[in-house]
Chains A and B, each alone.
Chain A
Amino acid sequence: MAEPRLVVLQGADERDLTKLSEYRAIGGYDALAKARALAPQAVIDELLASNLRGRGGAFFATGRKWSFIPKPDQNPNPHYLVVNADESEPGSFKDNEILSRVPHRFIEGCLITAHAVESKHVFVYIRGEYLGPFEAVRDALEEIRDDERLLGGVTIVVHRGAGAYICGEETALLESLEGKRGQPRSKPPFPAISGLYASPTVVNNVETLATVPPIVAMGGAAYAKLGVENSTGTRVVSLSGNLVRGGNYEVAHGITLRELIYDLGGGIAEGRELKAVIPGGSSTVILTAEEIDVPYDYDALAEVGTAMGSAGVIAIDDRCCMVQLGIRVSEFYEHESCGKCTPCREGTRWMTAILRKLEAGEASDSELDLLLDVCDRINGKCLCPLGETAAMAVASYVLKFRDEFLAHLDGGCPFGSQSPLDGVVAPVNQHTHSPVAEVPA
């Protein structure tokens, strides 16, 4: 059932789609012409029919998001399309491949979307580290620079970030794009009403936009037949961790995690046993090896208490210590917290500190409870989801691998240096330009 390269990456294995001529040869930019022949509302209707839901993590219906943008006569300010190409969620690398291999499909998606929301200004916010993908998009834009028929008066500016995971959160991204520190805004107002420069703004993910041309080409109803109800279409899933064949695989929603891991990923490397799976990037609740028959779709994953997130599947083999995993994940969020809310800024440091004590065999029973208590004090008490996804993810390691945590209480780590995560140096532990305060003892 898993046919790779169905929609978003279609044709990329056979041809060099970074070239305009090659993309044209498979009908590239025809969907743009088709969309421009339609009224903006008709394009939005096509997206509504497709039931495409955002690929950035929140899975919000794209057509609905676009329909929130006021019409030009309701709000005379310029309308903006801002692309979220900040991809920094640990486990996710799909947008990297999409931008690098099908930049023209992505650009076509931007131009169709600009038509649908009546915008003349597109900003692509791409993470600063993505030099290769940046060059691919820049070169593709260069190829169509003088083609006014394609551009239709729309300007596309590629804006490079400078290293901050939180800038993937859409309002932090807008702050950063306005030349500020990337700290989230409180919502409402939502970007559709007051986004970039306080004007109506659509923020969409790279994959979402690269899915738009095929939807327009095949029709929303045809797209909705792919995948499963509520999770229509395909998804570019990033497979990583202890697998034989890591990489990006485009699949129709509804394939099981087991099929992803064993059929596409080739199973666990070095003949080892699967222990756990992070199903949607490090912000999602972990699954045990027994839970992987779950279909990879929004509702099915929600039913088992987790999420598809940014579709980064991380397979973890039996050597890995779950306390060490907790430390590394907690350290990431500690490093990336923007510092605006106390529960997130301080709580993530406390999580790391308690986990370190546990790992060293110096923690007591009550400190294991304290860890869950700290998670609980972050949950639901922050401005943006960063803090609470960190707390929920780490709490899930404790809840699902409680015996392993208990085993650490007397005598420390049963895995020790057997575990590949033993002693890993995270950025938060090294000397960096911004001094890191002492971790609470």
Chain B
Amino acid sequence: MSALHDEIRELMALYPEARSATLPALRLAQEKHGWLSPEALREAAEGLGETPAYCMSVASFYDMFHLEPVGRHLVEVCTNVSCALVGAQQVLEAFERELEVRAGETTEDGEVTLRTVECLGGCGWATIVALDHRYRTHVQANDVGAIVEELRADG
């Protein structure tokens, strides 16, 4: 049995009903495979004792699960109201220029996926950009070049 299988079993033991481990199990499978590929879903399902279809139906409800491949790095720009009021769209456009992709796309080399997201819960420190899930606060368009360089340097 795979390490993922064992980890999912451990998660299931935390809950009175094992199905509660579905979200954490999907998260682990996604971390291992990079996205929820059919194989990742099969593995998660096997660990949980659910069907892959069940896992797919749950995963498709949540924004953080990727049902298609994404880049090794994820750049998420909040464009909800508070961020937009102080220039989130300009930040997004700077990323689009710098990475040569549109929002929702992945760079040709498969390194970086850029997307917009709804409010990240950091509105007073806008614009919020999540880089591989770490928040950057007060991001402005002219910070974007350095941020992308940092991501690329990270290999």
Contact = CB atoms under 8 A, between A and B. Distances in A.
B25 to A, nearest CB: 9
B125 to A, nearest CB: 7
B64 A128 contact: yes
Contacts of A176: 23
A328 B88 CA distance: 13
Max chain B CB contacts within 10 Å: which of A162, A163, A247, A328? A162
Interface in B41-80: 57-58, 60-68, 79-80
A164 interface: yes
Interface in A229-266: 238-243, 246-248
How many of chain B's residues touch chain A, expressed as a range? Answer: 35 or more
Interface string B86-109: 111100100000000011110000
Main SS of the interface on chain A? loop
Contacts of B66: 433
Contacts of A181: 57-58, 61
A239 B24 CA distance: 33
Max chain B CB contacts within 10 Å: which of A88, A197, A278, A432? A432
A179 B79 contact: no
Interface string A85-125: 00111111101100000000000000000000000010000
Given A164-B61, A420-B86, A336 B118 contact: yes
Given A88-B118, A433-B60, A420 B85 contact: yes
B17 interface: yes
Contacts of A332: 80-81, 118-119
Interface string A125-158: 0011111100000000000000000000000010
Contacts of B20: 159, 177-179
Nearest to B68: A433
B82 A240 contact: yes
B82 A129 contact: no
Closest 3 CB pairs of A and B: A246-B124, A163-B63, A179-B22
Given A129-B130, A314-B85, 9 more contacts: A91-B119, A132-B134, A162-B65, A164-B62, A238-B124, A282-B119, A314-B123, A424-B84, A430-B104
Interface of A: 78, 87-93, 95-96, 121, 127-132, 157, 159-165, 176-182, 197, 238-243, 246-248, 269, 278, 282, 312, 314, 316-317, 320, 325, 328-329, 332, 335-336, 338, 420-427, 430-434
